[in-house]
Structure 1
Amino acid sequence: RLNDLNKGYQICEQIKKAIDLYQQQTGKRIVIISTTDYTHYGPGYGQNNAQNLSANEEYARVNDKSILQSILSNNPEQLLQTQQITQNSMCGLWPSLIIMILSRLLNDNKGQWNLLSYNVSSEVMKRGKDVCGFASLIYSNT
């Protein structure tokens, strides 16, 4: 996996060059958006022993906490390691890693991730005992 992460850095270096060239030619700023969801838990996701909705919501929150802390630390290696250890069922591990690497490269490591919101899907729409964690984060270099 570390070898894959090195490839991620190489890809992001190429993307950074393209973005730098675009900005030099146009003078425009860019915004990069990435999305993922986090823990999936409940009978619909294969956890037939899932207890009840409130216990499943708590499971998602606890399971997502270390993943979100890794993102907020702005350390892609830590995110990869945390996901491997916890086996968090986030769908977008690699998009998250790439956006973290790219954000650091584009801002000379001057910036940080901030958590805007975290919710469990059942807080928005109940679907039996199934839950999924969602977070909104923003990278700021100011």
Structure 2
Amino acid sequence: MLEIIERLNPAERHDAVISLDYDSRKRGRLKTLTETSEDAGLFLERGQVLMDGDYLKATDGRVVLVQAAVEQLTRASTTDPVLFAKICYHLGNRHTPVEIQPGSVFFQPDHVLSDLCRQWGLEVEDVERPFAPESGAYGKQAGGHHHDD
């Protein structure tokens, strides 16, 4: 099994790729498969979310690239910037992980939140795409790759 033990700075190459959904990228301990179906285990420091494009190091020296997996999400959209700001505020007030794109906010499926968005007049649809939620007011700046080393 490929034992992945630490984060790396951006690398010029990688030897393996793991594709993880958002909930899996929040875990420090995890068993998964590489894109070539090799067993892999994460043994990382807890409390830090892996981001799409992060690089990790295995005990055998191999470099592993993290990819955000495609997953089921809800997209709420509007062309009204004030309404968009209001719904982002209300979702954030509920500590809901959200990914904000121009005119659209993405979150993990939750019928209560979908109903809230509809009640506010947003278009709501189910989509499949990688999820890259904002890191929060006190986390690192979102919108790019985050590397700790």
TM-score, normalised via structure 1 length: 0.32
Richer in helix (by share):
1
More strand by share: 2
When normalised by structure 2's length, the TM-score is 0.31
